[in-house]
């Protein structure tokens, strides 16, 4: 019995510590601006170690479904540049999501299912129709909260291989957009401007992501068209 509840205790304790010690304060624009020089100096002096630490923090944020994923991506772009920052963010987010997927398969599943709510039922039909395309479009276009898309596949029978591949490639476009925005934060700090993450998602950028999502739906549409041809 103790072995079954131990993972729940550890995870809940980690989440409680995050909020009790207000660790979310450090995943903010103000904190990044305040510690800018120290962080950049550490990255320049210890690039490999800094990359690993950044990725480990990103994994923990995603695996525990903590707020701050967007800020982590912006920070990655700021500290490591758009390309390397995006690579680290995509890798960290994919590993964190995979850990959460595997946790959902354990005794913690019931607890996480309750946290996800009834929205999972809305996703079931899509996964049954075409698991590859639906998983990919959910990653490319943020229709549902990131943590929910991380959890739902575990409860709806999505194979781990499909989950990992679709997650990795599906989050690349959006992650690169935010990492690219993060790489320009230095200029924002120098000018003393107020930054808003919402300003990044311009209509053209949203249109591009939606376009990628539509492309992911092509196999579903083609499959339905074939079924109608067979019936005819």
Write out pLDDT tens, residues 154-201. Answer: 888 889 999 999 999 989 988 888 888 888 887 777 776 555 555 555
Mean pLDDT split into 10-residue runs, the chain, 232 residues: 53 62 68 87 93 94 87 91 94 94 76 67 76 84 79 87 93 86 78 59 55 60 55 54
Quote the pLDDT of residue 153.
87
Kindly report the three-state secondary structure assignment for every residue of the chain.
Answer: CHHHHHHHHHHHHHHHHHHHCCHHHHCCHHHHHHCHHHHHHHHHHCHHHHHHHHHHHHHHHHHCCCCCHHHHHHHHHHHHCHHHHHHHHHHHHHHHHHHHHHHHCCCCHHHHHHHHCCHHHHHHHHHHHCHHHHHHHHHHCCCCCHHHHHHHHHHCCCCHHHHHHHHHHHCHHHHHHHHHHHHCHHHHHHHCCCCCHHHHCCHHHHHHHHHHHHHHHHHHHHHHHHHHHHHC
Does pTM surpass 0.75?
yes
Quote the pLDDT of residue 3.
52
Quote the pLDDT of residue 151.
84
């Amino acid at each position: 019995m103790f072995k079954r509840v131990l993972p729940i205790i550890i995870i809940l304790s980690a989440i409680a510590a995050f909020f009790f010690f207000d660790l979310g304060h450090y995943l903010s624009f103000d904190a990044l601006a305040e510690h800018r020089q120290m962080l950049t100096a550490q990255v320049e002096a210890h690039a490999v170690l800094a990359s690993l630490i950044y990725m480990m923090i990103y994994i923990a944020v995603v695996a525990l479904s903590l707020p701050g994923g967007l800020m982590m991506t912006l920070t990655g772009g700021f500290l490591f540049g758009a390309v390397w920052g995006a690579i680290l963010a995509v890798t960290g987010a994919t590993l964190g999501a995979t850990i959460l997927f595997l946790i959902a398969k354990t005794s913690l599943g019931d607890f996480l299912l309750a946290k996800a709510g009834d929205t999972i039922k809305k996703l079931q039909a899509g996964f049954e129709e075409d698991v590859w395309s639906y998983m990919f479009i959910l990653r490319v276009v943020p229709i549902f909260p990131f943590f929910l898309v991380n959890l739902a596949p575990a409860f709806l029978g999505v194979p781990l291989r499909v989950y990992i591949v679709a997650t990795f490639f599906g989050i690349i476009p959006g992650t690169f957009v935010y990492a690219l925005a993060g790489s320009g934060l230095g200029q924002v700090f120098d000018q003393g401007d107020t930054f808003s993450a919402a300003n990044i998602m311009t209509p053209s950028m949203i249109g591009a992501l939606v376009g990628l999502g539509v492309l992911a739906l092509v196999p579903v549409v083609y499959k339905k068209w074939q079924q109608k041809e067979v019936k005819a």
